[in-house]
Amino acid sequence: MTDHNHNLEDSDSEELRPSISDRGFAHWPVVESDYGAEILVYESSAVNGPFFWISIDQPEIQGFAGSITATHITLEQAWQLRDTLDAAIEKSFRDA
């Protein structure tokens, strides 16, 4: 497992603070894409976790049918995804 040296306290801003579902699981604020898709990240109920669900609800746009998809990821995979997004964001700033 990769050592990511994360301190959750450092990244806990008010706008990113999750709500808690009726079942006691964290649901982070929805991110809306330019095309109206809603991207949701929420804590999984899997007991051998931590795990997360990432869900994308894409409405019908420009003649393409809408769809909903979700994937279940481990904490390590969540870190990988975050690191991948960080790298893509850094590259876009360098290339801008």
The pTM of the full predicted model, rounded to 2 decimals, is 0.77
Domain extents for the chain? 14-95
Tell me the pLDDT tens digit for each residue of 79-90: 999 999 999 999
Kindly indicate the confidence band of residue 12, based on its pLDDT and cuts at 50, 70 and 90. Answer: low
Q: Which long-range contacts (CB under 8 A, 24 or more apart) does 13-22 make?
A: 18/42, 18/43
* Separation between Cα atoms, residue 57 and residue 38, nearest integer Å: 5
pLDDT band at 93 (very low <50, low <70, confident <90, very high): confident
Mean pLDDT of 8-30: 83
User: What is the spatial distance between Cα 54 and Cα 14, in angstroms, rounded to a whole number?
Assistant: 21
Residue 9 has pLDDT above 80, yes or no: no
